[in-house]
Amino acid sequence: MTSLPQGGLRTAAAYVGIGLFGIAPLLAAVGASWLGDRLGCRVDEAAVHPCPVAGVDLGGALNALQGFGWLSLITLPASGLGIIGLTVVTVLKRRR
């Protein structure tokens, strides 16, 4: 089994964190659509639709989570730039 070079675990964790930052809003939107579909509820961005589950209306929460998909228009490119920046810094540090 090969081990990571010195600082490699931190670098790997940074890549994972940046990647999760980028896709988290998209995962929230897809998850809201999936959950609404499984519960038999209509989930869209046009309006909040009722989604009663065990006496609690989840329509507003699902609608808000669906709206987070638009945030991925900012987080995906930002995480791409972050990954590029981290790669440049990592390569420059290892060249020394």
| Gyration radius of the chain's alpha carbons | 19
Q: Which residues contact 35 (CB under 8 A, 6 or more apart)?
A: 43, 62
Residue-wise pLDDT for 49-93, tens only, equals: 999 999 999 999 999 999 999 999 999 999 999 999 999 999 998
Q: What does the domain layout of the chain look like in residue ranges?
A: 20-95
3 against 43, higher pLDDT: 43
- pLDDT category at 96 given cuts 50, 70, 90 is confident
Residue-wise pLDDT for 7-54, tens only, equals: 688 999 999 999 999 999 999 999 999 999 999 999 988 899 999 999
Bridge partners (DSSP) listed for residue 57: 52
3-state secondary structure of 57: strand
Task: Name the pTM for this structure.
Answer: 0.78
Cβ 58 vs Cβ 69: under 8 Å: no
